[in-house]
Structure 1
Amino acid sequence: MGKNTGFSETGLRRMRDVLTRHVESGKIPGLVALVSRGDETHVEAIGNTRHDGGGAPMDRDTIFRMASTSKPLTMAPVMVLLDECGLRLDDLVQEWLPELADRQVLKRPDGPLDDTVPAQRPITVRDLVTSTFGLGVDLSTMGSPLQAALQEHAVFSQGVVPAPEADEWMRRLGALPLMHQPGERWGYHISHDVLGVLVSRVTGKPFETFLRERVLDPLGMADTGFHVPGDKIDRLPPCYAPHPQTGEFLVWDEAAGGRYSQAPEFQSGGGGLVSTVDDYHAYFRMLLDQGTHGGERILSRPAVQLMTTNRLTPEQESARSALARGAVHVSFGQGQQGGWGLGMAVRTYRGDYAPVGQFGWDGGTGTSAYADPQNRLTGILLMQVGLSTPDPARVIHDFWTTVYQAIED
């Protein structure tokens, strides 16, 4: 690899050596990493799909459960509708989501479900896309009645209880109060699932169908969707959730016969996608290119700028940072450095090797995808090891540390 390719050979070798060391430690069965800058793309596939070595080697076309790294991609079809004036940011969502009309709001986020006051105003599209509609997963109040109800009713159960189809899911959500007044505070995850239902109702099509027509197919993302078809299932590794104390590899989800082996009842925009490093590279490269791909426009330039600019007030940003510090699955990688755009974190201060402006997100199955406009850089790291121990978070951190050292000016 010669000069002016975007990365130094020494830097790439260091990245490969560091990732290999993590795999050889026995804590991570395998991984696939992609780094791209300018016209140069470099991929490393290291290790095995199974921790006991009985699976196939990791490969560039291995398919991964993206978990919360689904969120940045989920936002794209919403932006398509905003671009085409099928939605407006200040539209009231109750026109399409009547379940969210006439909300009640808890007097205290951790209080009884019936101790409420009326919402001060209706929920808007803007509230949903900025994750400030009033309801979210809050690890600081996980024992509260509302957080327990989100789990019990499979509004957010992390797959422990399968979510029902979209209309029933919305009915269950609508039966619960909000935690905060609309527009007041940032709340994690749930808004992205609601946005999938909103897209479906506005377009009259299943969320995945519209996502595929307007985003996945134009970008050539043939391996991305909400399940893995039978003819590709051998490319999906098992997903592990190591025991928090012993580190023993426990299978959270097998490939064949597992929860991603058939189309789900509910297409979770917040965490339900599967994909590959090349598919996600195509998406983040489109965002770096201000909405274009191969001469075709997927999103408008202003839409991409809106997505990748911090949308939070200082008070909302403080609340998001507090959640990030308290949650294993959102406190690693790059995502804790300040702000939030639409569907993704946006770095508002330099807290480690990456500069201000980097955008993307991480996922609880050991996934990380970010782009950096300043360096024209994309990085994607995919594993299938849940964050029940610190090991996958350390891999992600070390990946980004070595990626930034590998940049050749």
Structure 2
Amino acid sequence: MNDVTALGFSKGRLRRLDEFLQSRYVASGRFPGVQVLIARGGEIAHSSVLGLRDVERGLPVEDDTIFRIYSMTKPVTSLAFMMLVEEGLVALDDPVAKFIPQWRDLQVFAAGGPVAFRTRPAARPMQIVDLLRHTSGLTYGIQNRTNLDAAYRGLHLAELGYDDTLDDMIEALAALPLEFSPGEAWNYSVATDVLGYLVGKISGVPFDQFLQRRIFDPLGMVDTAFHVPADKASRFAACYSATPEGGLALQDDPVTSPYLKPARLLSGGGGLVSTSADYLRFCRMLARSGELDGARLVAPMTLALMRANHLPGGRDLAEMSQSLFSEATNAGMGFGLGFAVVEHPARTLIPCSVGEYFWGGAASTAFWIDPVEDLIVIQMTQVLPSSAYPIRRELRTLVYSAMMERRG
């Protein structure tokens, strides 16, 4: 561990962070265990490893524990897609139907149910940028808001253990209307799964192989994949759901988990497993404008474009979101090409910097990168849903409260 004082942190306040996590979440039984990595200036300032990765077997969280990162897969997929943009194989304003012809005449939901939707024409075609920023008109069954959400649930689209392939999902979506005309609203959706499909189609390389060759191998992300191989299964964490009483119910046993065998649906929106160390490698590459240890994945200007707010008219999520569920709060937030971006820190009511970008996963994992303070924070646990507890807001407050020296 590096000298935390030299990196601008208070040792005592970092201890307070660990004490908070231990008492509020681990000892209380809200979380089985938790891991937090704080890095600044390319060096690890603090590492918390608390509690159990498997309550039933009494196994502790360790530095190399493998977690389901769910929607923290989305930034990885988005970066993979932007590599194809850099190569001139696709442009952000290309119509999606250029690559998915069966989507050429997608309609917009007006009324009715799955048996007989009433629709209207879309105001404009869906563009690639709509997929990256979640303005496509697609949705998630977990939104539980409309009849279209119910239709997604009925087809089990992009759900864990979904038995079909990405090709099957694309065909199923072709038969459903959109929630709204592309660009008119923001709705958290299966759009990033569609991007994963397009990465494979446009590159000519299977999506999982593309990620392995172009991202994981160059960055040395040795434990990140769409399944957990047998020789790593002993490090795989159990996944729990929060109970109404504040306890935990086993959701996915690591001994019998579907993640122990290769997935049929390679979900670019939520299918990866990873470790804190691996994801820190990915975040360090982002923080260094696309390069790490001599491996250049994308150019600095591409990362700058991804970190900009791409919501139409420069609006924020508070104005555009119609999602009941998202991995971000809306106040003060814009959305870039693969992650949320802080636009107005004061509106968030928590410490943060302009241009900070972040996302999280359904099992309460999270990361953020603060380019002003040269800061990366990664937090791992395995508790569904991510909205069960305000851990992300609390963690931001505790981390910034332990920072004694500003760099911005």
Q: TM-score, normalised by structure 2?
A: 0.91
In 2, the alpha carbon distance for the partners of 1:287 and 1:353 equals 21
Query: Against the structure 1 CA distance between its residues 73 and 177, is the aligned structure 2 distance closer, same or farther, given a 3 Å change threshold?
Result: same
- Please tell me whether residue 408 in structure 1 is matched to residue 407 in structure 2: no
Unaligned runs of 5+ in 1: none
Query: Against the structure 1 CA distance between its residues 128 and 109, is the aligned structure 2 distance closer, same or farther, given a 3 Å change threshold?
Result: farther
One-letter amino acid matched to 2:304? Q
In 1, the alpha carbon distance for the partners of 2:332 and 2:275 equals 26
Alpha-carbon offset, residue 151 of structure 1: 0.9
| Structure 2 partner of 1:207 | 207
In 2, the alpha carbon distance for the partners of 1:120 and 1:73 equals 31
| Match 2:51 to one of 47, 50, 58 | 47
Query: Against the structure 1 CA distance between its residues 249 and 100, is the aligned structure 2 distance closer, same or farther, given a 3 Å change threshold?
Result: same
Is residue 116–residue 177 contact of structure 1 (8 Å, CA) maintained in 2? yes
| Structure 1 partner of 2:156 | 154
| Match 2:39 to one of 14, 22, 36 | 36
Show CA shifts across 1:44-85 (max 9, x none). Answer: 111111235x23210111010011121111111101001111
In 1, the alpha carbon distance for the partners of 2:304 and 2:386 equals 34
Q: 1:5-404 alignment to 2 at 5 Å?
A: 5-21=7-23, 22-41=25-44, 42-52=46-56, 54-107=57-110, 113-137=116-140, 142=144, 144-156=146-158, 158-159=159-160, 162-243=162-243, 245-313=244-312, 317-321=317-321, 323=323, 326-327=324-325, 330-331=327-328, 337-350=332-345, 351=348, 352-387=350-385, 390=388, 393-404=389-400
Alpha-carbon offset, residue 177 of structure 1: 0.7
In 2, the alpha carbon distance for the partners of 1:62 and 1:346 equals 28
Partner of 1:199, secondary structure, is helix
Of the structure 1 ranges 313-322 and 187-196, higher mean CA displacement relative to structure 2 is found in 313-322
Query: Against the structure 1 CA distance between its residues 375 and 2, is the aligned structure 2 distance closer, same or farther, given a 3 Å change threshold?
Result: closer
Alpha-carbon offset, residue 293 of structure 1: 0.7
Aligned residues: 397
Is residue 110–residue 117 contact of structure 2 (8 Å, CA) maintained in 1? no
Alpha-carbon offset, residue 336 of structure 1: 5.5
| Structure 1 partner of 2:6 | 4
Show CA shifts across 1:313-366 (max 9, x none). Answer: 35563355553xx43x6356xx75411111111011112111221101011101
Unaligned runs of 5+ in 2: none
Is residue 4–residue 408 contact of structure 1 (8 Å, CA) maintained in 2? no
Query: Against the structure 1 CA distance between its residues 146 and 346, is the aligned structure 2 distance closer, same or farther, given a 3 Å change threshold?
Result: same
Query: Against the structure 1 CA distance between its residues 225 and 337, is the aligned structure 2 distance closer, same or farther, given a 3 Å change threshold?
Result: farther
Partner of 2:219, secondary structure, is coil
In 2, the alpha carbon distance for the partners of 1:300 and 1:176 equals 37
Q: TM-score, normalised by structure 1?
A: 0.91
Query: Against the structure 1 CA distance between its residues 108 and 130, is the aligned structure 2 distance closer, same or farther, given a 3 Å change threshold?
Result: farther
Partner of 1:260, secondary structure, is helix
Alpha-carbon offset, residue 387 of structure 1: 2.3
In 2, the alpha carbon distance for the partners of 1:121 and 1:61 equals 47
Is residue 367–residue 383 contact of structure 1 (8 Å, CA) maintained in 2? yes
Partner of 2:385, secondary structure, is coil
Is residue 190–residue 270 contact of structure 1 (8 Å, CA) maintained in 2? yes
Show CA shifts across 1:148-206 (max 9, x none). Answer: 110111214x32x6241111111111110111112222221311010000001011221
Partner of 1:180, secondary structure, is coil
Residue identity (%): 35
Is residue 155–residue 163 contact of structure 1 (8 Å, CA) maintained in 2? no
Q: Of Structure 1 and Structure 2, which has the larger fraction of its residues in strand?
A: 2
In 1, the alpha carbon distance for the partners of 2:70 and 2:320 equals 19
Partner of 2:59, secondary structure, is coil
Is residue 312–residue 340 contact of structure 1 (8 Å, CA) maintained in 2? yes
Alpha-carbon offset, residue 233 of structure 1: 0.9
Partner of 1:11, secondary structure, is helix
Q: Considering only aligned residues, what root-mean-square deviation do their CA atoms show, in Å?
A: 2.2
Is residue 359–residue 370 contact of structure 1 (8 Å, CA) maintained in 2? yes
One-letter amino acid matched to 2:171? R
Show CA shifts across 1:208-258 (max 9, x none). Answer: 111111111111111111111111111111100122x23342221111221
One-letter amino acid matched to 1:408? M
Alpha-carbon offset, residue 124 of structure 1: 1.9
Alpha-carbon offset, residue 134 of structure 1: 1.5
In 2, the alpha carbon distance for the partners of 1:296 and 1:146 equals 43
